[in-house]
Amino acid sequence: MKNQKEARIFGAYFFIGLLIEWFLFWLFPNTGMGGMICWPIAIILSTLIGFVLYKLVMIPLSLWMVIPIAVVLLVFQTKVQLGLMPQDFGGKPSQQISEAKAAYCNYDKIHVAQSQFSSSYEVIVFKYKFQYVEKSRTKNIKLNTGIERVLYYLLESNKLPVDSTATSLNR
C-alpha cells in the first residue's frame, strides 16, 4: 500500500512537469528546430526530480513536508526549462517576460503621440489603450504568442481605461 503512495507522487510530479513544458511552449512558441531538445529535457528532468521525490517519500515524511519540497523542485525545473528554451526571435523567454511586465507597468506612460516602441508588448498596450471602441476589441491587435495573449488578458481583466478619443490607428 505504501508503495502506491510513492508511485502516485512520482506520477503526479512527472505529469505536472510535462504540463509545465506544454504551457511554456504555448507561451513561447518560436522555438524552431531547437524546440526538439526541450521535450526530452523536460522528460529527463521530470523523471529525475520525480525519482528524488519518490525516494524522499520513502523516508517517513509527512505530506506537509513533501508538498513544499515538490513546489520548490517544480520552480527549479521551470527555471531550468525556461533557461534552456531556445527562441528563433523575440529574445530569451526571461527577457520576453520582463518586457511584457514593463509594458504592462508603463500603461499610464504610453500616450497617443508616441511613435516608437521598445517592444512588441508596448505596441499591444498602445493598441489596447487607444483603440476605437467596437464590438470586437481585438480587431486591430494581432496576438501571436501566448505571452501576448496573457498580457492582453491582464489588460482586459483589470478593466484598464481605454482612450476612445483616438478613432483611427495606422499602426
What letters, b where the CB count within 10 A reaches 16 and e where it falls short, cover 98-132? ebbeebbeebeebeeeeeeeebbbbbbbbbbbbbe
User: For 51-85, how does the pLDDT look when each residue is reduced to its tens digit (9 = 90+)?
Assistant: 888 888 778 777 778 888 889 999 999 999 988 88
H helix intervals, the chain: 2-27, 38-58, 63-84, 93-105, 120-129, 146-157
Domain ranges of the chain: 2-84, 93-157
Task: Write out the three cell numbers for 134.
Answer: 467596437
- Residue with the bigger pLDDT between 125 and 160: it is 125
**Global pTM?**
0.76
Task: Write out the three cell numbers for 157.
Answer: 481583466
